[in-house]
Amino acid sequence: MMNQHYSEQTAKDSKPAVLEQLIQNGQPVFGVFSHVKNINYLDYHSHLISQKSLPTWRKALKANQFCFIQIIEPPYRICLALATIKLATSAFVYIYNEDTEQLEVCEALQPLTLQTQLEGDCYQGRMAFTHAKLSMTLSFTPSQVSVLLDSHCIGVKATLVRQAQPLVVCTPTGRRGWTFTQKEPLTAVSGHLFIKAHSKFAVEAQAQHIDFTASSVANLDWTLGYMRHETNWFWACINHYLADGRHFVLNLAMGVNETGASENACWLDGQISYLPPVMFVRDECEPSVGQQAASAQTTETSAPKPWRIYHQNLGWSTVHIDLTFTPIRAYKKTDNFGVVASIFEQWIGFYSGEIHLGEKVITLDKVIGLAEDHFAKW
C-alpha cells in the first residue's frame, strides 16, 4: 500500500502545473506546464540589463514573437505564419498539393509593426497583419483558434478547436533572456479553403470552394521571448492519421532551448507523451543547375539527402527515436538587412522510422510531414 501510494503521489506531483501568469515577481517561471493563462512578458525585469525597470516600449521592442499554423485537408496542406522582431514584421502562406507535389507561396514584409496588431497571447489574444498581397487575422480563446486569411492565390476561413493538452515550455535563453513556446494539435476544423481562379491549383481557371471536414486536422506553434542575437533551430512536425486510424502528431526541435529542457512531444488521439531531447543531422548537398536558376522562394534540389533525427538513449529513458526525413519540396526565404537577417527553409517530405514509448512502438513509413532549418539574427 505504501509503494502504491508513493507511485500515485509521484505521478500526481509530476503532472505539469497550470500557471495563471508566466512572469511572477518580475521573473519568468521556467519549466514545462499544462497551460499558462497569461504571457505577461511586459512585467519582466532583468537585473542583468538594468538595475531599474525598463520602460514598457523597450521591453516590447526587444520581444520576438511568431505564430505558425498548419491546416490539412487532403490533398491540400496549408501552412501560414506571422512573425515580428519589431524592426520588421513578415507573414507567409503556402499551399501544397500532396498528389501533384505543387507548391504555391504568398509572402509579405513590412517595416516595424506597420499594419500589425499584437494583442494578448496564444491563450487569449489576437494577431493581425494587413498588406496588399497578404492579410491574416489569428484569434485565440481558451477553446479555439480562428484563422481569417486572404492572399493573391487563396483565402482561408477556419475555426480550430483546442481539445488536446498543449506542450508548454519556458526556458532561459543566453545570459539574460528567456523563450516561451506552445505547441498543440487542433481538431474539429470548420470553415473553408478558397482557391482563386488565377491560382496554379485552380482547375480550368475556375475558383474552388473546399469545405473543411471532421477529418481535417491542424496544429499550432506559438513562441515569444527574448532570444539570443543570433539564433538557430531545427524543427520536425508530423500531423497524420496512422494506418490503424489513430491521429498522430509529433513535435521535435533542437536549438533555442539551452538548458536540457525538451520542447519535444507526441500526441496519440490527443493524449500527450513528453519526449526527450533529440539530435538533427542534415548533410549538405550541391544544388542543381535548375535550382540555381529557380526562385529563392520555391527552390528544389535535384537529389536532397535525407536528414536523421534521433534520441541517443543511454539507458535512463524508455523512449527510443530514430527517424529519417527525405525532403521533397521547400519554401525558402533569405533576408539580410545587416543588423537583422534570416535564412529560413521549411521542407515538405517523408518520415520513416520508429518511436518507442516504453513497450509501445509507433512505426512511420513514408509519412508526410514538415522539417525546418532556420537561422536568425535579430
pLDDT exceeds 60 at position 294: no
Mean pLDDT for the stretch of residues 309-323 = 92
Q: Which residue has the higher pLDDT, 257 or 243?
A: 243
Q: What is the mean pLDDT of the chain?
A: 89
Of the listed ranges 106-110, 248-252, 287-291, 306-310, the one predicted with least confidence: 287-291
In the sheet that holds 360-377, the strands lie side by side as 271-275, 264-268, 247-255, 230-241, 360-377, 341-357, 319-336, 307-311, 279-282
Please tell me the predicted confidence (pLDDT) of residue 47. 66
- In the chain, pLDDT over 70 holds for what percent of residues? 90
Mean pLDDT for the stretch of residues 177-186 = 96
Residue ranges of the chain that CATH labels 2.40.370: 229-378
pLDDT by residue (tens digit) across 183-198?
A: 999 987 899 999 999 9
Cβ-based neighbour number of residue 133 at 10 Å = 13
The CA-based dihedral angle spanning residues 32, 36, 42, 48, taken in that order and rounded to the nearest 10 degrees: -20
Count Cβ neighbours within 10 Å for each residue of 62-91 and write b for 16 or more, e otherwise: bbbbbbbbbbbbeebbbbbbbbbbbebbbb
Name 85's Cβ contacts closer than 8 Å, sequence gap at least 6. Answer: 64, 340, 376, 378
pTM (predicted TM-score): 0.91
Please tell me the predicted confidence (pLDDT) of residue 349. 98
List the beta bridge partners of residue 266.
Answer: 250, 273
DSSP state of 206: B
Mean pLDDT for the stretch of residues 154-172 = 96
**Does residue 151 sit in helix, strand or coil?**
strand
How far is 89 from 81, CA to CA, in rounded Å? 11
pLDDT exceeds 80 at position 78: yes
- Strand pairing category for 167-173 and 125-129: unpaired
List the beta bridge partners of residue 268.
Answer: 248, 271
pLDDT by residue (tens digit) across 99-153?
A: 999 999 999 999 999 999 999 999 999 999 999 999 999 999 999 999 999 999 9
Mean pLDDT for the stretch of residues 300-311 = 82
Give the ranges where the chain is alpha helix by DSSP (H): 2-14, 56-62, 289-293
Helix, strand, coil: what percent of the chain each, to 5?
5, 60, 35
Grid coordinates representing 69 are 499554423
Does CATH number 3.30.70 belong to domain 229-378?
no
Please tell me the predicted confidence (pLDDT) of residue 287. 52
Please tell me the predicted confidence (pLDDT) of residue 289. 45
pLDDT exceeds 80 at position 284: no
- Where are the extended beta strands (E) located within 112-226? 116-120, 125-129, 134-140, 144-151, 154-161, 167-173, 177-195, 208-211, 217-226
- In the chain, pLDDT over 90 holds for what percent of residues? 72
pLDDT exceeds 70 at position 9: no
How far is 303 from 326, CA to CA, in rounded Å? 10
Please tell me the predicted confidence (pLDDT) of residue 275. 96
pLDDT by residue (tens digit) across 346-373?
A: 999 999 999 999 999 999 999 999 999 9
Q: Which long-range contacts (CB under 8 A, 24 or more apart) does 87-90 make?
A: 87/111, 87/112, 87/339, 87/340, 87/378, 88/112, 88/335, 88/337, 88/340, 89/113, 89/114, 89/116, 89/129, 90/335
